[in-house]
Amino acid sequence: MDWGRAKNVLIYAFLALNLLLCYQLWIDLRDQASANLDFTSLSAETQAAMDQKNIRVLCPIPAATPQLPDITYRYSGEEQSQPPVELKEPVNSSLIYSSFTDLSNALAGQIPDIANYRFDAQESEPGKSVLHPLVDNKWSLFRVKLELINSDQKIVAYRWPQIEIGPMGSTEDVQKVLPASQALSSLIEKYFPVNSVVKEIELGYYGELFNSESQVASPMWRFILEDGSAYYVDAISADIISPKTTE
């Protein structure tokens, strides 16, 4: 028997089997991803607009419609014009992606109330990680940012927003939020440009950045596109704030 030839045949057979298994795994993952993206909540008109404008949605469309009130808060924004505060003990930046609990524990003694923030991968960029304060420990307050400055795979400094969020409103003030599918439909049909790709949909609060004694934030759906642009839809009034909106 030609053992060399037999060995080559076995190697090629194993390679072919591995290719077949990889292909089957890719098919399964693709089907699973498609199953998680339930477009049945979108109208036939919206789905037709998606096809016509070649718009893709790569994230699940949230189905929850909680009842939320407007909130009040105080925020000066002064930290944006100040140099970042250096950490006395730099922290490994990989904790941002691996375990936010470990990150908050590591920074708890240096950054006030960091456990009440949420990491925002969509707004972060090389050298700077962005976190938003949480309303009622659940909902991000968009546009208000805690910035972690990274260098050489270490968090070395930060900009901390001096913000005071008021208590949630009474039960008489809450309103059921607009379904994400309805907000998405408006954007697809009227606002999203051709070939848009939706990467993330999140419900939170939209905070204005002007300085005043007290400000009001409304529940907002935030839609992030692949090009980095963000669209906000008021989850109560359905008003839309797009990148082209003048404030």
Whole-angstrom Cα Rg for the chain: 23
Given pLDDT bands bounded at 50, 70 and 90, which one contains residue 244?
low
Q: Show the DSSP H helices in the chain as ranges.
A: 3-36, 44-53, 95-98, 100-107, 180-190
SS3 of 54, please?
Answer: coil
pLDDT value for 7: 56
Number of H helices, E strands in the chain: 5, 15
- pTM to 2 decimals? 0.79
216 pLDDT more than 50? yes
Stretch among 102-116, 153-167, 202-216, 226-240 having the lowest mean pLDDT: 202-216
The pLDDT tens digits of the residues spanning 139-166 come to 999 989 999 999 988 999 999 988 888 8
Cα separation, 131 vs 27, whole angstroms:
35
The pLDDT tens digits of the residues spanning 87-104 come to 999 998 888 888 888 888
Residues 236/242, Cβ–Cβ less than 8 Å = no
pLDDT value for 87: 93
